[in-house]
């Protein structure tokens, strides 16, 4: 397999999980099925259970309910009830970040909090012009955010009041120049922080020799009420594997225990959320490939899909009720999948996602890369169809048998249908073209109560794609 470029686009990450059992604050009701309260939505896999969505769009696209100006960010918004939360970077080179709450129906701002973070470049964080990386998470009445250089906030989601905060950079530094690009997830009463394969102690310093200094796989759980550390999982990074980060954990049960599922040190791993104990692992990529990749594992009952970097993608079969029994690789193929894009979406035995390389070592060349929207058969990995012409950045959301697909300056409605790529709507979302900012089109569309929220380099747009909040 040919080597893919080491491109900073790797902080455009994805998470996939099924059967998620998130826990909520005492006295708080669980989010409604139509809430999108954390990275990649109510099911944790980039899909929604909403039904009754419009299956054809008019020539000028779906109705625009509102659009508001927004500063840069690769962070998706999240929606709970009629509150929308979004994060952004204020200046082109960093130094300040903003967390804001909007009325999800009207776009009117309810509150905002801007905090100084210092210059990104002093901490070796590249492409600050793209802004805030991590998607926030709502848990009961609390909102959790992680900024590009590690400023972690717990806020009262109704008022924006700071309940506690800490700078993750003071403890663990991320690998490379991608910053803190994983998103916070709360499960079984733990705030989960997956620093990646190649993180290090803050005491190591930025100028340490990367060939001799210690780098580790680091996963940590905090008490979401106080920010105190509950446990830390740590093991050395194994050479000659390449380091990587940006992955948000998937959540699934193994042997009756809720676990965080990650890829690290070229293996799939399940860490028990209760205490951080490793309860299962399985090798998925060559030991000289990248130890962890950006799209998190997609868990589909007994199957786990891993998109490898510098190696093939693979579907692993494991009996999660009895994980001590041997797992097997059902198939492994080089799908020419650049793993800086989102994980595949699953529908009725087929997978839908992007394949092809994002070329170039700089943002302008990367912005001109062309990808294919591809349908795979889950059981075999066979390519059923592959449609060219999708320009970076790209992202997709699945609901009601429909794909909401971002591609450069466009939003398309496409059937999730193995018989072919059937476009049912196409609208231009914006005119901005600046190399780094163009790549903000990687931000996933968010669906809640029939409304689709699309983040562009300069605006947040709300489209009406369903019958409304009452359905």
Q: In 104-246, which ranges are E strands? A: 109-119, 137-139, 142-146, 151-156, 162-167, 172-173, 185-187, 190-201, 216-222, 229-236
As a whole number of angstroms, the distance between CA 13 and CA 133 comes to: 9
Residues of the chain with pLDDT under 50: 1-29, 469-471
Question: Tell me, what's the pLDDT at 32?
Answer: 62
**Are the C-beta atoms of residues 199 and 216 closer than 8 Å to each other?**
yes
Question: What are 66-119's pLDDT values in tens digits?
Answer: 999 999 999 999 999 999 999 999 987 789 999 999 999 999 999 999 999 988
28 domain residue, yes or no = yes
Which of 263, 166, 265, 177 has the alpha carbon at shortest distance from 224?
166
DSSP 466: S
pLDDT value, residue 111? 98
Kindly state whether residue 259 falls inside one of the protein's structural domains: yes
| DSSP state letters, 205-252 | -TTS-TTTS--EEEEEEE-TTT--EEEEEEEE--TTSBPB--PPPEEE
Q: φ, ψ for residue 8 (rounded to 5)?
A: -70, -5
Query: Which candidate, 327, 360, 317, 345, places its Cα nearest to that of 415?
Result: 345
Cα dist from 203 to 199, 209, 244, 454, 463, whole Å: 12, 13, 20, 40, 47
pLDDT reported for residue 93: 78
Q: How far is CA 361 from CA 165, 177, 358, 364, 409, in A?
A: 35, 14, 9, 9, 22
Sign of the Cα torsion 120, 190, 346, 398 reads negative
Contact in structure between 39 and 342 (CB atoms under 8 Å):
no
- Rounded to whole angstroms, the maximal C-alpha distance in the chain is 59
List, as one string, the DSSP characters of 290-349.
Answer: BSS-SBPPEEETTEEEE--SSS-EEEEE--TTSTTSPPEEEEEE---B-TTSPPPEEETT
Q: How many domains does the chain have?
A: 1
Q: Which strands sit side by side in the sheet containing 350-355, from one edge to the other?
A: 345-347, 350-355, 370-377, 383-391
Could you give phi then psi for residue 32, rounded to 5 degrees?
-65, 155
CB 411 within 8 A of CB 358: no
CA-CA distance, 216 to 231, in Å (whole number)? 16
> What is the rounded CA–CA span in Å between residue 441 and residue 455?
7
Six token digits for residue 45? 């896999």
CA-to-CA distance for 16 and 294, rounded, in angstroms? 11
Kindly state whether residue 1 falls inside one of the protein's structural domains: no
Predicted structure pTM score: 0.91
How many helices and strands in the chain, by DSSP H and E? 2, 34
Residue 2 resides in a domain: no
Q: CATH number for the domain including 304? A: 2.140.10.10
Q: Is 31 helix (H, G, I), strand (E, B) or coil?
A: coil
Whether residue 205 is contained in a domain is answered as yes
Q: Which pLDDT value is given to residue 281?
A: 97
Q: Which domain holds residue 437?
A: 8-464
Q: What is the pLDDT of residue 21?
A: 42
């Amino acid at each position: 397999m040919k080597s893919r470029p080491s491109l900073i686009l790797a902080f455009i990450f994805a998470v996939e999980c099924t059967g998620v059992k998130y826990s909520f604050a005492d006295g708080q009701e669980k989010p409604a099925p139509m809430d999108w309260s954390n990275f990649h939505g109510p099911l944790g896999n980039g899909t929604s259970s909403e039904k009754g969505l419009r299956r054809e769009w008019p020539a000028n696209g779906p109705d625009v309910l509102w659009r508001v100006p927004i500063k840069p960010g690769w962070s998706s918004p999240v929606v709970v009830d009629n509150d929308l939360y979004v994060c952004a970077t204020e200046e082109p080179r960093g130094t300040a970040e903003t967390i804001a709450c909007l009325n999800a129906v009207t776009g009117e701002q309810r509150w905002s909090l801007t905090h100084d973070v210092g210059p990104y470049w002093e901490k070796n964080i590249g492409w600050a012009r793209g802004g805030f990386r991590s998607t926030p998470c709502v848990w009961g009445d609390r909102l959790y955010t992680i900024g590009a250089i590690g400023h972690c906030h717990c806020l009262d989601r109704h008022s924006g009041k700071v309940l506690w905060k800490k700078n993750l950079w003071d403890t663990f530094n991320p690998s490379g120049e991608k910053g803190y690009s994983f998103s916070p997830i709360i499960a079984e009463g733990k705030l989960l922080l997956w620093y990646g394969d190649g993180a290090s102690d803050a005491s190591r310093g930025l100028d340490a020799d990367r060939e001799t200094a210690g780098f580790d796989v680091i996963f940590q759980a905090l008490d979401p009420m106080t920010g105190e550390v509950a446990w830390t999982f740590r093991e050395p990074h194994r050479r000659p594997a390449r380091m990587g980060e940006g992955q948000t954990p998937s959540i699934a049960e193994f042997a009756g225990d809720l676990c965080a599922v990650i890829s690290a040190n070229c293996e799939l791993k399940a860490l028990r959320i209760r205490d951080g104990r490793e309860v299962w692992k399985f090798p998925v990529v060559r030991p000289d490939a990248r130890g962890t990749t950006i799209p998190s594992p997609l868990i589909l009952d007994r199957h786990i899909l891993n998109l490898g970097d510098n190696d093939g993608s693979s579907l692993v079969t494991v009996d999660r009720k009895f994980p001590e029994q041997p797992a097997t690789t059902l198939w492994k193929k080089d799908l020419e999948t650049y793993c800086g894009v989102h994980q595949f979406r699953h529908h009725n035995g087929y997978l839908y996602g992007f394949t092809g390389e994002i070329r170039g070592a700089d943002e302008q060349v990367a912005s001109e890369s062309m990808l294919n929207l591809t349908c795979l058969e889950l059981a075999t990995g066979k390519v059923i169809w592959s449609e060219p012409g999708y320009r970076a950045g790209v992202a997709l959301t699945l609901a009601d048998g429909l794909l909401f697909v971002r591609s450069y300056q466009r939003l398309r409605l496409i059937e999730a249908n193995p018989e072919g790529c059937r476009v049912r709507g196409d609208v231009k979302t914006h005119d901005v073209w600046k190399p780094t900012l163009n790549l903000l089109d990687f931000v996933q569309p968010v669906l809640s109560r029939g409304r689709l929220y699309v983040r562009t380099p300069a605006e947040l747009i709300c489209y009406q794609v369903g019958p409304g909040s009452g359905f």
